[in-house]
Amino acid sequence: MRARIIKINGPVVVADRAETLKMNEMVRVGGNKLIGEVIGLDHGEATIQVYEETSGLKIHEEVEGTGRLLSVMLGPGMIGNIYDGIQRPLSELEKVGGAFIARGVEAFPLSRDHKWSVKLLKEVGDEVEEGEVYAEIKERGIVHRLMVPAGISGKIVKKVEKEEFTIDDVLYILENGTELGMYQMWPVRIPRPVKKKLPSKIPLVTGQRVIDTFFPLSKGGTAAIPGGFGTGKTMLQHQLAKWANADVIVYIGCGERGNEMTEVLTEFPELVDPKTGKPLMDRTILIANTSNMPVSAREASIYTGITIAEYFRDMGYSVAIMADSTSRWAEALRELSGRLEEIPAEEGYPAYLSSRIAAFYERAGRVITLSGEEGSVTVIGAVSPPGGDFSEPVTTHTKRYVKCFWALDRELAYSRHYPAINWNTSYSGYVEDLKEWFVKSVDPSWYDYRSKAMELLAEDGRLQEIIKIMGEDVLPDMQKLIVGIARMIKVGLLQQNAYSEIDSYCPLDKQFKMLKIIIDFYEKAREFVEKNVALSEILKGSVVSKLMRMKEDYKSAEELEKLEREVHEHFGKLEKVYKE
Amino acid sequence: MAVVEYTGVSSLKGPILVVEGVKGASYDELVEIESSGKSRVGKVIMLEEDRAVIQVFEGTADLDLPNTKVRFLGKPLEMGLSSDMLGRVFDGLGRPRDGLGELISKEKRDINGSPINPVSRVYPRNFIQTGVSAIDGMMTLIRGQKLPIFSGDGLPHNELAVQISRQATIKEGEFLVVFAAIGLRHTDAEFILSSFEETGAMKNIVAFLNLASDPVVERIATPRVALTTAEYFAFDLGYHVLVIMSDMTNYCEALREISNYRGEIPSRKGYPGYMYSDLATIYERAGIIRGKEGSVTQLPILTMPNDDITHPIPDLTGYITEGQIVLSRDLHMKGIYPPINVLSSLSRLMKDGVGEGYTREDHPHLASQLFASYSRVQDVRALASIIGEEELTEIDKAYMKFGEDFERKFLSQGVDENRSVEETLDLGWEVLKDLPKEELTRVSKDEMEKYMKGAIS
């Protein structure tokens, strides 16, 4: 006898005959076979969250167990695709329901028609272990490695030889009868196993100066982008998805705008990855559960995304996952918790909010995979604090579990200073971890220059307080110089135009050169101020405005050497005039 | 399916009614409630074994427990649609209110609509000229966008909405306004409707009125009824539809009231935790669909309680909509119309809908320059209020002058003044002349030479 619905409250449904169902089992609810998941079993009653709109559902309709946990299907065909929160391809849903999303549609996550040419790596008689790669497929921008699922090992007794394979084909059969096919299933709420976690030593290069130079993120690291509306969270996430030097990008639009996902879909296929020269879409997987799509699927979308990311990590790739926005996910938790009549903690959020956030970010990391490769999952989560107030529960709990905090500032956004990352309130816990890499790969003095710039910005922050009250004129020349240089750092270096062809992505050597030119300029200018040369004389000439515009006017670090010489000449001339 | 009727209800509380012994009812189903010959509508909001919880749109006043009849109609709340709706006035549930007789509808639709599949959307990038400089120049409205006006009590948001809908022009296609009054005062609704009538625009408008005196619960349905109509005209008949919804604050108040009656756990300031998702099901119904001719553009209006932009209503709205037009009481007091605070306003879709091929090549840089310079004006003004204007440096004095000119010449315009985007941009360059050229780091030299005539060096 099947379970039957006895209560309906929005996306939460209660059924009787709970003994027929398992915890976290995926179920089909009612005559329309809506997709749901069992989230509680108690006194013969099963609580189910339904991932689709429940309008029209009736009491005593049946609930059918599927016998498996809510899982994703992992195999070739995911790259370049766009899914909803429970891995249904949106283009398949469109074929069935048209422009508006229909209900109860079962869509196979991977294309069943596509024919793949597969390179089989094992022979009959070979022993395989969990995590071992047994076949390779060229899929758009990457080599897709098929791995023996966790917990499975044995001797191969049969190998299927074919020109081309489809997703339903079997490639190998093991002694114990296990089939190795083109895909594997994995429950979304359980992290995929790895051999070992590694420390963070390599940066995720994003081409964004304020991030790479000032608040760097490591591969396998975690970062949060909190900011009120209009401060540019989504814009920054898009920039990172475009330019971060990861092999695979998983972008989750969680409870956000439909048009934004469309923008990614229109723009990414046209943009070229600076590293590989291929369209950005060839390394990107999109998960879109827009704000008006069912709230429980929004809750699941984060897990769907990170499980896919882990799968690619296990192949030995560096994967970056962008979740925009984790606040919407937390709100989904709150909404469901309210429907379950749980006792709320802060601001109506359930008491397990903190542990759920922790569990999500803890799935990031640089690892040695089961097959012995090195891979990483970097997690970047946007946070949308109500009223831009960073003391609210989602922001404060997130802060506890991430090491990079890129705080977006409304004041900066209002004055169109983008990216609006506030240099005083942001931090990166990776600076020391990554120091060695930057010193080795960019410049031996990278760390010192960076520290100097941070110091100047901090000093400027203090001086701005005085300026607000008394005006800049009251400051002595030395402090005016600091304010001027800080302005140069803010306008010339930290601001970066996402729409500029030249400046949208800034390579590391150019970033460093720009920083170096400004700081060297400061050191030189300081010497003159100390010799009592008027500041207006020191800053005279076209060289200052060239420094302000160098991000746009000079394409590369090499071109900037010209400007470096000009700065040198500028001070050379000054030297001559004031020699006496 | 057959209509089932029950006599007698077990509980009445605010707009919530409970019936017991119910069989076969479905979630979200439409019900008809009859008492002493009068009928009203409601919908099922919770089902439990044989118990149905119903929200009554017209309120429960005058109902009693034993004699109230409840009929389950076996379908969700639907409305009839027809092209004859043009020029007509309806109530908040979509029933004629103008005394011109019933509508003969060709189509029936569920007012809740369905989410548009992101892959079926077309990314909006065609600019709508509103003729208002602040908007066209600094926060351009794009066809298919949802751009709310954040206002305050007593600010001229209605005037601005009327001006925008009257002046809004798009390059091609038929244009239509759907107006939804949500808990609006009678005088405000009257002002808006009569403004349309005077200009002869009424034949291109469909109006839904839920006035302040109308049932509160009905407000939950009004924006959905309006949007269902808008979607019908846009995606079935090919119109470009501009939907004006005023005042969304009243909608949210209604939502809170019902949530409270249902005994739900409140989130910020007593509003329900699902308010974000709920508002999204309204605002996300803007857009353009691949293969369809029309578009739905939304211009919701909300009054910020106590002018507080961090209040949950504007806050959650801002997180869903594609920008916001913020009205400022300070500018209003200074006598500037439209009193748009450009610094806190934003159009997220502007970046892809302006510039060469859309408006004019210099537009993005000019707008960015105006934002940056006007933002500096605020600092200078703050400083001047402490040390006095006399003590300012020459550059700061130039910013003071620019600030005045920007507000008086660029922002300010008549309620009937319709400026082309070229006029707006030229005006922008004109006011930038107050500043020394070195200060203009966001526009290129070529642009300055081409568009800024007779500037000081």
Contact between chains at B320 and A97 (C-beta distance less than 8 A): no
d(CA B282, CA A184): 39
Residue A260 domain flag? yes
- Does residue A369 sit in the same domain as residue A465? no
pLDDT band at B456 (very low <50, low <70, confident <90, very high): very low
pLDDT category at B2 given cuts 50, 70, 90 is: low
Mutate to test the interface with B, among A32, A90, A229 (most CBs of B within 10 A): A229
Question: Has residue A93 been placed in a domain?
Answer: no
- List pLDDT tens digits, range A59-109: 999 999 999 899 999 999 999 999 999 999 999 999 988 899 887 787 899
pLDDT in tens, B106-158: 899 999 999 999 999 999 999 999 999 999 999 999 999 999 999 999 999 99
Longest C-alpha distance within chain B, in Å?
Answer: 85
Per-residue pLDDT tens over the stretch B300-321: 999 999 999 999 999 999 999 9
pLDDT tens-digit readout, B68-96: 999 999 888 899 999 999 999 999 999 99
B interface test, pick of A291, A384, A390 with most B CB neighbours within 10 Å: A291
Contact B277 A99 (CB under 8 A): no
B316 vs A266: CB contact, 8 Å cut-off? Answer: no
Query: Which chain A residues contact residue B316 at CB under 8 A?
Result: 386
Query: What is the mean predicted confidence (pLDDT) over B335-339?
Result: 96
Burial (Cβ within 10 Å: 0-12, 13-18, ≥19) of residue A573: exposed
Q: Mind spelling out the 3-state secondary structure of chain B?
A: CCCEEEECCCEEECCEEEECCCCCCECCCEEEEEECCEEEEEEEEEEECCEEEEEECCCCCCCCCCCCEEEECCCCCEEEECHHHCCCEEECCCCECCCCCCCCCCEEEECCCCCECHHHECCCCCEEECCCHHHHHHCCEECCCECCEEECCCCCHHHHHHHHHHHCECCCCCEEEEEEEEEECHHHHHHHHHHHHHCCHHHHEEEEEEECCCCCCHHHHHHHHHHHHHHHHHHHCCCEEEEEEECHHHHHHHHHHHHHHCCCCECHHHCECCHHHHHHHHHCCCECECCCCCEEEEEEEEECHHHCCCCHHHHHHHHHCCEEEEECHHHHHCCCCCCECCCCCEECCHHHCCCCCCCCCCHHHHHHHHHHHHHHHHHHHHHHHHHCHHHCCHHHHHHHHHHHHHHHHHHCCCCCCCCCHHHHHHHHHHHHCCCCHHHCCCCCHHHHHHHCCCCCC
Interface test with A, best of B119, B150, B441 (most A CBs within 10 A): B119
Q: Got the DSSP string for A263-297?
A: HHHHHGGGSB-TTTSSBGGGGEEEEEE-TTS-HHH
Looking at the structure, tell me whether residues A203 and A155 fall in a common domain.
no
Chain B: residue nearest A383 by CA? B319
Mean pLDDT of A350-377: 96
Nearby residues of A271 by Cβ (< 8 Å), 6 or more positions away = A242, A279, A280
What pLDDT score does B262 carry? 83
Q: Which of residues 185-204 of A touch B (CB under 8 A)?
A: none
Q: Which of A57, A259, A293 is facing B287, going by the closest CB pair?
A: A259
Instruction: Dihedral sign for Cα A213, A219, A222, A224, please.
Output: positive
B123–A266 C-beta distance less than 8 A: yes
* CB atoms A230 and B292 under 8 Å: no
B272 contact residues in A (CB cutoff 8 A) = 338
Which residues on A lie below 8 Å from B124 (Cβ)? 259
**Residue A240 maps to which CATH number?**
3.40.50.300
Which one of A372, A402, A430 terminates a domain?
A430
> Is residue A92 in a domain?
no
Residue A167 has pLDDT above 60, yes or no: yes
Classified as helix, coil or strand, A126 is: coil
Residues A288 and A254 in one domain: yes
What gap in Å lies between CA B8 and CA B313, rounded to an integer? Answer: 38
Tell me whether B31 touches chain A (CB under 8 Å).
Answer: no
A42 shares its domain with A154: no
Phi, psi of B246 (to 5 degrees): -140, 125
Choose the closest CB to A55 out of B27, B287, B319.
B27
Contact of B171 with chain A, judged by CB distance below 8 Å, is answered with: no
Size of interface A-B (CB pairs under 8 A): 212
Q: Is B393 on the interface with A (CB under 8 A)?
A: yes
pLDDT (tens digit, 9 = 90+) per residue, A215-253?
Answer: 999 999 999 999 988 898 989 999 999 999 999 999 999
B358 vs A contacts (CB less than 8 Å): none
Please give the Cα distance from B424 to B430 (Å, whole number).
Answer: 10
What pLDDT sits at residue A304?
96
**Which residue of B lies nearest to A387 if distances are taken between CA atoms?**
B310
Q: Which of B20, B120, B386 to mutate to test the interface with A (most CBs of A within 10 A)?
A: B120
Q: Cβ contact (<8 Å) for B48 and A58?
A: no
Domain membership of residue A547 (yes or no) is yes
pLDDT, average across residues A354-372: 96
Determine the Cα–Cα distance for residues B223 and B213; give it in Å rounded to an integer.
17
Answer whether residue B173 shows pLDDT above 80.
no
Residues 93-112 of B with CB under 8 A from A: 110, 112
pLDDT given for residue A336 in this prediction: 86
Q: Are B326 and B174 in contact (CB under 8 A)?
A: no
Q: Check whether residue A409 and residue A274 sit in a common domain.
A: yes
CB A263 within 8 A of CB B119: no
- Do A102 and B124 make contact, defined as CB atoms within 8 angstroms? no
- Does A487 lie at the interface with B, CB-CB under 8 angstroms? no
Report the CATH number at residue A159: 2.40.50.100
Residue of B nearest to A417 (CA): B372
The answer as to whether A113 is a domain residue is: no
Residues A216, A319, single domain; the answer is: yes
Looking at the fold, whether A167 and A214 belong to one and the same domain comes out as no
Encoded amino acid at B162, one letter: V
- A27 falls within a domain: yes
Q: Is A58 on the interface with B (CB under 8 A)?
A: yes
Is A386's Cβ below 8 Å from some Cβ in B?
Answer: yes
Q: What is the pLDDT of residue B332?
A: 97
Residues A343, A454: one domain?
no
- B176-228 pLDDT tens trace: 999 999 999 999 999 998 988 887 777 889 999 999 999 888 999 999 999 99
Lowest mean pLDDT among A138-147, B162-171, B268-277: B162-171
- B15-52 pLDDT, tens digit per residue, is 899 999 998 889 989 999 998 888 898 999 999 988 99
Q: Are residues A173 and A209 in the same domain?
A: no
**Average pLDDT rounded to a whole number, residues A514-535:** 95
- Residue A268, CA distances (Å) to A234, A250, B348 in order: 15, 13, 18
The residues near B421 (Cβ < 8 Å, ≥ 6 apart) are B127, B129, B136, B137, B359, B360, B363
Quote the minimal CA–CA distance from A16 to chain B in Å.
Answer: 11
CATH number at residue A35: 2.40.30.20
Q: B436 at the A interface (CB within 8 A)?
A: no
pLDDT at position B420 over 50? yes
How many residues would you count in chain B? 457
Per residue in A416-453, pLDDT (tens digit) is: 899 999 999 999 999 999 999 999 999 999 999 999 99
> pLDDT class for B457, splitting at 50, 70, 90?
very low
Indicate the pLDDT class of residue A7, thresholds 50, 70 and 90: very high
Indicate the residue among A127, A160, A182 that finishes a domain: A182
For chain B, the average pLDDT equals 91
**Given phi > 0 = left and psi -120 to 50 = alpha, else beta, which region is B35?**
beta
In degrees and rounded to multiples of 5, residue B258 shows phi and psi of -65, -40
pLDDT at A580 (0 to 100):
59
Total structural domains in chain A?
4
* Amino acid type, A145: R
Percent of chain B with pLDDT over 90: 68
- What is the rounded distance in angstroms from the CA atom of residue B219 to the CA atom of residue A259? 27
CATH code, domain carrying A564: 1.10.1140.10
- Give yes or no for B24 touching A (CB within 8 A): yes
Instruction: With respect to residue A218, please indicate whether it lies within any of the assigned structural domains.
Output: yes
* N-to-C CA span, chain A: 102
Contact assessment for residue A494 and residue A506, using Cβ atoms and an 8 Å cutoff: no
Domain membership of residue A85 (yes or no) is no
Q: Same structural domain for residues A415 and A282?
A: yes
| Domain match, A11 and A128 both | no
Q: Are residues A425 and A488 in the same domain?
A: no
Q: Judge: A100–B116 Cβ closer than 8 Å, yes or no.
A: yes
Contact yes or no for A55 and B112 at CB 8 A: yes
Mutate one of B319, B346, B347, B395 to test the A interface: name it (highest A CB count within 10 A).
B319
Taking the Cβ of residue B433 and every Cβ of chain A, the question of whether any pair is shorter than 8 Å is answered with no
**Residue of A13, A50, A262, A337 for testing the chain B interface, max B β-carbons within 10 Å:** A262
Range of the domain at A123: 118-182
- For A277, phi then psi, to 5°, come to 75, 10
CA distance A337 to chain B (A): 10
pLDDT digits (tens, 9 = 90+) for A314-355: 999 999 999 998 999 999 998 888 888 888 888 889 999 999
Q: What is the pLDDT of residue B175?
A: 86
Q: How far is residue A549's CA from residue A561's CA, in Å, rounded to a whole number? A: 15
